Amino acid sequence: MPSRRAVLKSAALAAAASALPGLSSAVTPAPVAAAGKPLRILILGGTGFTGPFQVAHALARGHQVTVFNRGRRPVPEWGGQVEQLQGDRDTGDLRALQGREWDVCIDNPTTLPAWVRDAGQVLRGRVGHYIFISSISVYADGRPVGITEDAPLARYAGADPLAETPASLAADMAALFGPLKAASEAEARRQFGDHVTIVRPGFIVGPRDETDRFTWWPLRVSAGGEMLVPGDGHEPVQFVDGRDLGEWSVHLAETRTPGVFNATGPDYRLGTDAFVHGLHAVTGGPIRFTHVPAAFLAGQGVAFGADLPIWFPADHRFAGFGQVDNRRAIAAGLRFRPLATTVGDLLAWHRARPDERRRTLRAGMSRERETALLRAWHAAGKGAGEGDGHA
Ligand SMILES: NC(=O)c1ccc[n+]([C@@H]2O[C@H](COP(=O)([O-])OP(=O)(O)OC[C@H]3O[C@@H](n4cnc5c(N)ncnc54)[C@H](OP(=O)(O)O)[C@@H]3O)[C@@H](O)[C@H]2O)c1
């Protein structure tokens, strides 16, 4: 039986969380068991996509939480339980962290090695462990099946990665993101030695995901009708619910497990057909799936990863991002909500978004484009429709 204090605390957290869109579903209705030893956790960031999930879980586990950011985003009061420090890593203003100590630091928003260096200068010797949120984009080759954490990393081609700034990164995000994340990982080891955990997420999805990359799929399935399914139905997709990632980050803080981890899911091979049928199991409604080969779509100018987000054909340079080896993270405690839970909560969150965000997604092809592609495919005398067949 949870104690009366735990129940009250859980209720306070739930109330605080419900003030921030998409967060209420992050708070487990039944109280989470308290950690054996409460920690002082510093979260660099903490108010964007995944940070609030970390905060919610860390509080539920009984930890003391401090967040550090510029204070530009809406934050829940967290029942007054979170210390909020302000500074700006763009300008190297980390004064609010000076002279303080924490057991663990989780660094969420960093892509620039200079940000890691600055954090190290203030926090080295003052935090027991440093968790750096990186990305699977660090890998030099995104094609292979089963990329492990030991695969070669993208090399930074410029003169000095520490000289890169937010402006230079923004100007060449596609080319610099992976190499700079990799250089930041190296800087983390330089600053914090062996007391480092590197987390490399794949696509992070679910409530609060403002990229709309995963979100496009369940929304398309829920619209029904004839739906274009790229490829032959077997190409795998991978992603991780932001809440699973947030909770696991706190678990890593508790265990202080050093090392490097690919943080993506699920814990089975999820082919395209299983994926769209899994989405349809949640959305329901009449639908008919029509497979269209990737080569035909490429010939029509379809951009995989953008027009069809998070999906890549077998010969694509990111084909491996649907089948990254995640066994090490699972062994270290990463767990995955069922797809249906992610999708159900995501759709509920999406329905509560402002009109403009509901109308205009930031990823995925329009219905008109899809219809034109299907028309072209049928005109080529192919695919009269296959799949559920109850349109
Ligand atoms: N989305 C994906 O699919 C995906 C995939 C792989 C890896 N990742 C990585 O996962 C991480 C996700 O981070 P998140 O956005 O979920 O973290 P978050 O901690 O929830 O949000 C980002 C935080 O950084 C703060 N921040 C931004 N610029 C700052 C600055 N100059 N100085 C101080 N604070 C600043 C923001 O607050 P203020 O704006 O108020 O400062 C905010 O609190 C990123 O490292 C990303 O590269 C994402």
Mean pLDDT for the chain overall: 93
- Output the CA 47–ligand 1 centroid distance in Å: 8
The best mutation among 20, 43, 49, 94 to test binding of ligand 1, ranked by most ligand atoms within 8 Å of the C-beta, falls on: 49
pLDDT at 383: 64
pLDDT over 70 for what percent of the chain?
Answer: 90
pLDDT, tens digit (0-9, with 9 covering 90-100), for 277-310: 999 999 999 999 999 999 999 999 999 999 999 9
Query: Ligand 1 center to residue 155 CA distance, Å?
Result: 23
Q: What is the pLDDT of residue 256?
A: 97
Query: What gap in Å lies between CA 67 and CA 255, rounded to an integer?
Result: 20
Strand segments (E) across 148-202: 196-201
259 Cα: distance to centroid of ligand 1 (angstroms) = 21
Shortest-distance Cα residue to atom 24 of ligand 1:
45
Residue whose entry in the numeric block shows the structure tokens 């492990």: 148
Question: pLDDT higher for 388 or 266?
Answer: 266
pLDDT (0 to 100) of residue 139: 98
Indicate the Cα dihedral angle 143, 147, 149, 150, nearest 10°: -80
- Among protein residues, the one with the nearest Cα to ligand 1's atom 5 is 203
pLDDT of residue 17: 62
Please state the rounded mean pLDDT for residues 222-240.
Answer: 98
Distance from the alpha carbon of residue 28 to the mean position of ligand 1, in angstroms: 23
Bridge partners of 260, per DSSP, are 198
Q: What is the pLDDT of residue 3?
A: 56
Handedness of CA 219, 224, 228, 229 (dihedral sign): positive
> CA 51 to CA 82: how far, in whole Å?
12
Beta carbons of 206 and 138 less than 8 angstroms apart: no
From 54, 108, 318, give the residue whose CB has the most ligand 1 atoms within 8 Å, as the site to mutate: 108
Nearest partner of 315 among 296, 297, 300, 294, judged by Cα: 294
Cβ contact 275:203 at 8 Å: no
pLDDT interval class at 79 (50, 70, 90): confident
Q: 322: CA distance to ligand 1 center in Å?
A: 23
Instruction: Report the pLDDT value the prediction gives residue 21, as an integer from 0 to 100.
Output: 64
Q: Which residues line ligand 1 (CB under 6 A)?
A: 45-51, 69-73, 87-90, 108-109, 111, 133, 135, 201, 203-204, 211
Helix (H, G, I), strand (E, B) or coil at 26: helix
Q: Which of 27-31, 187-191, 193-197, 235-239 bottoms out in mean pLDDT, i.e. has the lowest?
A: 27-31
What is the position in ligand 1's atom list of the atom closest to the CA of 69?
Answer: 34
Ligand 1 atom 48: residue of nearest CA? 204
- What's the angle, vertex CA 142, arms to CA 134 and CA 363, rounded to 5? 75
DSSP 191: H
In angstroms, the CA 239 to CA 256 distance is 24
What is the reported pLDDT for 160? 96
Q: Is residue 283 within 8 Å of residue 273, measured between CB atoms? A: no
**pLDDT score at 289:** 98
Question: Token match 């032959």: residue?
Answer: 232
In this predicted model, which residue has the larger pLDDT, 76 or 48? 48
Indicate the pTM of the whole model: 0.94
- Reported as a pLDDT band with limits 50, 70 and 90, residue 200 is very high
> Model confidence over 1-37: pLDDT tens digits?
445 555 556 666 665 665 566 676 544 445 789 998 9
pLDDT at 391: 34
Ligand 1 centroid vs 181 CA: distance in angstroms?
13
